[in-house]
Structure 1
C-alpha cells in the first residue's frame, strides 16, 4: 500500500455536501488519523496525519492537504478518520464483486 498520493488519471467528480462536511469537521477539530483512498493507479493508498486545509485546483479537482504536505483528492477518499468518504461505495462494490465472474 502506498502513501500520500494524488489521483490524476480519473476525472474529478464533485462530492456531496455531507462528504465535504466530514472533511471540514476534521480540519476544525484538528483530528489526526488515517485516510484510505484510491490513488492515481486505482490502488488502495493511505495518508496519515491531519487535514489542514482544502485546496481547489482548477481543472484538476479538490484536494485535502495534509500536515505532512501530502494531498488527497477528496472524491477518491474511501474513509477519513474512520468515517465513510465519497469513494466508499466504489470500494464496497469492488469488495463485493464476484471474483469468478468474467
Structure 2
C-alpha cells in the first residue's frame, strides 16, 4: 500500500454499521480503496479489527492488509466513504472537445 499524506476525514456512522455487520458475520470479500487518488488497490479477507492511529482509522484484514477507512470505495460490494469520488470519474466528460461536454 502506498502512503497517503492527506488528512483523515471522519467516516459516516452508517458505513460504520455496515463494517460492524460484516465483521460480526465474519464475511470474506474484497475491499477497493484509493491509495493516492486516482490510484486504487484492493484488499481481501475478513475484517479482523479497526485500529486508530495518529494518521487515521484503519481496517485490518485476515490477509494482513491495512486499509484507511476514509479511502474505501467499496466494502464487499457496498459503497464506502470514497465512493462518491470514484463515481465522479464516471461522470467526467471523456470527449476532448470542450463544446461537446
Q: Under a length normalisation based on structure 2, what TM-score does the superposition of the two structures give?
A: 0.86
Q: 1:18 aligns to what SS in structure 2?
A: helix
**Which ranges of 4 or more aligned residues in structure 1 deviate by more than 4 Å?**
none
1:39/1:45 contact within 8 Å kept? yes
1:14 to 3, 10, 20: 10
Q: Distance in 2 between matches of 1:24 and 1:76?
A: 17
Pair 1:56–1:50, CA change in 2 (3 A): same
Aligned to 2:66: 71
The structure whose RCO (Cα within 8 Å, separation 6+) is larger is: 1
Q: Under a length normalisation based on structure 1, what TM-score does the superposition of the two structures give?
A: 0.86
Pairwise CA RMSD: 1.7
Q: Select the structure of larger CA radius of gyration.
A: 2
Aligned to 1:50: 46
1:92 to 81, 87, 91: 87
